[in-house]
Amino acid sequence: MTAMDSRALFERACRVIPGGVNSPVRAFGSVGGDPLYVASGKGTRIRTVEGRELTDYCCSWGPLLFGHARAEIVEAICEAAAAGTSFGINTPREVEMAETLCAMVPSMEMVRLVSSGTEATMTALRLARGFTGRSLIIKFDGCYHGHADYLLVAAGSGLLTGGISSSKGVSPSAAAEVLVPAYNDLAAVERIIAERGQDIAAIIVEPVAGNMGLVPPHADFLPGLRRLADRSGALLIFDEVITGFRFGPTTYGQLCGVKPDLTCLGKIIGGGAPIGAIGGRAEIMRSLSPLGGVYQAGTLSGNPVAVAAGLAMLRLIREENPYARLDVLGARLAAGVNARAAAAGVTFHLARLGGMFTPFFCAPPVTDLASVKRCDAQRYARFFRSMLKSGIYLAPSQFEVGFISAAHTESDIDQFIAAAGEALAAG
């Protein structure tokens, strides 16, 4: 290809790719302007096709815990690819990956690898239905668990950004099997369980919601879900595609002491390569084919290149344990930006947990989708564009999260704070 610019590429893309993007969250529909085209990334920086360098806080929507193109991960990918990119036959690294995940996440007694977070949640729910013999699912308003039919009901992420909430093309019968209380509303779950508990196959939840912006759980929420799942015989599924290995060298479930029956992983465990995983109680996992009658399969499941990247990532996590540092950087970011917002008199708060954050254009607290919807998304769009002008790339939506990686430095964070100060003061 010859010299390129993002606008020309986007125009070409729009002719042959619906909306010009391969995932709706990459479109700039809610913030305005043309989507970027990236030529390369290294550490915290991405370089656009025009040669512009930006500090990245989207970090591929989460997987890049150590920033872009970390040498150990790139080397692992190259070595694995040179030995063959796919076999459709078992490879030794799959065993090592499963052993590593089970060791780092003790609630996962057995695990199966798939190729994406969507596949992981889809499989977990089929497994829950097959294991319990029940069909209803409880999912929470504004949580996003990938794009399987019955999970696109009242969903966050790109649906929330696009203002559509539930996708067309989902059959009414699939939607009718999903019950949708508000996030953090334990009393609503209790009512559902009292009325229909014996029909509920699973309660699926993001233990920290990250697809409507960052919404942490109330202290009693996850333990309460565990209790209600036990009471009704439903399985508790933690979708940790975003939160797994995000706040510590394990899952959020392990960190907060609530043990789900099944956990879904993705993003970080692939080190930037396509992967997903479902794991949990062996008794349930044994229902998967070929041991049990719940079918699940995939040519690229446990792909050697993706698994090599994931193993390198998990090794780095064990060696470098970056979490205390991410928390320090996150705290610096929140304190700095919130102080600038207060000085500018803007109704705003930067919510954050560890190195994950959302700049919310509303007053705190944000506890569920209704409170998230109080945010001024237009104001976020202006903030996004101003930050981009200052060389900082954020998620192009008010309803997503940002990520600090272990490659970010104090000076990156200070650059962010200064740019945010200008953006907030400009109105």
Active site residues: 144, 239, 267
Of 192 and 215, which has the nearer Cβ to ligand HOZ? 215
Closest CA to 140 of 171, 179, 194, 166: 179
Give 332's Cβ-side CA count (13 Å radius).
18
Give the Cα-Cα-Cα angle 280, 286, 289 (nearest 5 degrees).
120
Binding mask 130-149 for ligand HOZ (x = CB under 6 A): --------------x-----
User: Is residue 157 close enough to count as binding ligand HOZ by CB under 6 A?
Assistant: yes
Please list, residue by residue across 399-408, b when 16 or more beta carbons sit within 10 angstroms of its beta carbon and e when fewer do: bbbbbbbbbb
| DSSP secondary structure letter of residue 88 | S
Of 158 and 248, which has the nearer Cβ to ligand HOZ? 158
In angstroms, what is the minimal distance from the CB of 370 to ligand HOZ? 19
Contact by Cβ (8 Å): 66, 316: yes
27 Rama sector, left if φ>0, alpha if ψ -120 to 50, beta otherwise:
beta
In angstroms, what is the minimal distance from the CB of 355 to ligand HOZ? 16
* 158, 272, 330, 354: which one binds ligand HOZ (CB under 6 A): 158
Torsion over CA: 378, 380, 382, 385 (sign)? negative
Rounded Cα distance between 4 and 7, Å, is 9
In angstroms, what is the minimal distance from the CB of 160 to ligand HOZ? 9
* 400, 402, 403, 424: which one binds ligand HOZ (CB under 6 A): 400
CA 258 centroid distance within chain: 19
In angstroms, what is the minimal distance from the CB of 212 to ligand HOZ? 9
Binding to ligand HOZ (CB under 6 A): which residues in 195-234?
211
410 class by beta-carbon count within 10 Å (0-12 exposed, 13-18 middle, 19+ buried): exposed
* 23, 171, 321, 378: which one binds ligand HOZ (CB under 6 A): 23
| DSSP secondary structure letter of residue 111 | E
Of 61 and 247, which has the nearer Cβ to ligand HOZ? 61
In angstroms, what is the minimal distance from the CB of 11 to ligand HOZ? 22
Question: Which phi and psi angles does 3 have, rounded to 5°?
Answer: -55, 140
In angstroms, what is the minimal distance from the CB of 343 to ligand HOZ? 31
- Count of chain residues binding ligand HOZ (CB under 6 A): 8
Binding mask 25-64 for ligand HOZ (x = CB under 6 A): x-----------------------------------x---
Binding mask 96-135 for ligand HOZ (x = CB under 6 A): ----------------------------------------
Binding footprint of ligand HOZ on the chain (CB under 6 A): 23, 25, 61, 144, 157-158, 211, 400
